[in-house]
Amino acid sequence: MTDKNPISPHIQIYNWHISSLISISHRITGIINIIIVTFIFFWVAFLLLGNSNYELVQKFFEGYFGKFLIIGTVWSFSFQILSEIRHMFWDLGFGFELKTSNITGLLVIFGSLFLTIFIFILGRSLFI
Amino acid sequence: MVQINLPKNSKVQKGKFYKDKTGSKNIRKVNIYRWDPSSGENPRIDTYEVDMDNCPSKVLDLLNKIKNEIDPSIAYRRSCAHGVCGSCAMNMDGKNGLACTKPHKEIKGDINIYPLPHLKVQKDLIGDLSTLYKQYESVEPWLKVSKKDGHKENLQSIEDRSKLDGLYECIMCACCSTSCPSYWWNGDKYLGPAVLLQAYRWIIDSRDEDRKERLKKVADELKLYRCHTIMNCTNACPKGLNPAKAIASIKKMLATG
């Protein structure tokens, strides 16, 4: 085939399924998690440099953007962990039937939301 | 390489509109991807109004009706019309499948028909599958036995035979491979679900004596491990097979030795 021939539309027209949606989210949350872990290290280092920094950090996390960041982080990690467990079952050779994979997919989505709320509330009641 | 956007010459334009001439009240709009190699223009979407009162049940019937009664210039592959040959594989309503087994009743709203995704288009709904066929050839899809027993009956137990169920039914329509994002981005190196399912079909065959070599050949970062279990393949397969599971089985065999 020459370069003259067009390439047929792909991602532009293809329907999203639960599995494909989770697959791409798994990758995106994976990248986000690496960035977040890096930031957590910076945060810890920042606190080590003096206790006046502590108040600054505290203020930041009490604002809307700070809260969004925390909740986003908790969700991103929850999603990644649940999805990874799903992948591990796949690697063992289980859960490939369409129905099963759709159910486990939904479990990952709703489970991650549930875990987010659970961890956030647990964290608040433990540390505040 | 991942290229999300279509190249310049592949951008789809608005095409012609074929208004219904029968005066029927039961009308559906059918949008079809068109590309004429002789025109030098970009691909376009032509819209046809089709009288559904006089149209049989499948998408292929719909295409035949359009070709026979409205626009004879439209090109698509078809042969058996019973889901056995795999010629009429195309993308209907955002999902790959066989036009001859897909009822148009299942599609809501306008019916959108495209060629199989991310292939070089030869004309209209016909995509170029030569890369896939070359990859198929590379897994040597035939039984390999040592010569000395060549004239004897090659027996297989019922149990061993049942391992081929869900594999031998594959008709190589390429619905799965062309639904796979990994195959879209790395189609030249990654073998894709269809070919890997075929590779597994020969790896798992108890009569084949080349299992080790076959496994060694397929164990490659790009050939096999580009599969990230996106499961689009299993979702697309018109024969209800499970390429994702076959690929996972190969990975498992390689991991457990």
Closest C-alpha to A85, from A116, A117, A110, A107: A107
Q: What is the pLDDT along chain A (128 residues), one digit of tens a residue?
A: 667 899 999 999 999 999 999 999 999 999 999 999 999 999 889 888 888 888 888 888 889 999 999 999 999 999 999 999 999 999 999 999 999 999 999 999 999 999 999 998 998 888 76
Where do we find the tokens 């649940």?
A82
CA distance B142 to B224: 20
Smallest Cα distance from A93 to chain B, Å: 7
Say yes or no for a CB contact (<8 Å) between B231 and A10: no
Say yes or no for a CB contact (<8 Å) between B232 and A20: yes
Residues of chain B with confidence (pLDDT) below 50: none
Say yes or no for a CB contact (<8 Å) between B95 and A15: yes
Say yes or no for a CB contact (<8 Å) between B120 and A13: no
Name the helix (H) or strand (E) containing B92: strand B89-92
pLDDT at B138: 96
Domain that includes residue A100, residue range = 18-127
> Does residue A3 lie within any of the structural domains?
no
Say yes or no for a CB contact (<8 Å) between A98 and B127: no
Residues 6+ apart with CB under 8 A from B111: B28, B29, B30, B31, B59, B62, B92, B93, B104
CA distance A40 to A33: 10
Which CATH number covers residue A101? Answer: 1.20.1300.10
pLDDT at B1: 64
Tens digits of residue pLDDT in B85-98: 999 999 999 999 99
B235: nearest CB among A9, A19, A90: A19
Locate CATH 3.10.20.30 in chain B: 8-127
What chain B residue is nearest to A3 in terms of C-alpha separation? B120
What chain A residue is nearest to B120 in terms of C-alpha separation? A7
Residues 6+ apart with CB under 8 A from B219: B254
**The CATH fold of domain B8-127:** Ubiquitin-like (UB roll) (3.10.20)
**The CATH fold of domain B130-144+155-256:** Fumarate Reductase Iron-sulfur Protein; Chain B, domain 2 (1.10.1060)
Residues 6+ apart with CB under 8 A from B173: B86, B87, B89, B98, B194, B238
Residues 6+ apart with CB under 8 A from A102: A18, A19
Smallest Cα distance from A114 to chain B, Å: 24
The amino acid occupying position B61 is: D
ipTM of the complex: 0.90
| Greatest Cα pair distance in chain A | 67
Neighbours of A113 (CB within 10 A): 13
B9: nearest CB among A6, A11, A19: A6
What chain B residue is nearest to A83 in terms of C-alpha separation? B229
Say yes or no for a CB contact (<8 Å) between A8 and B115: yes
Name the helix (H) or strand (E) containing B50: strand B44-51
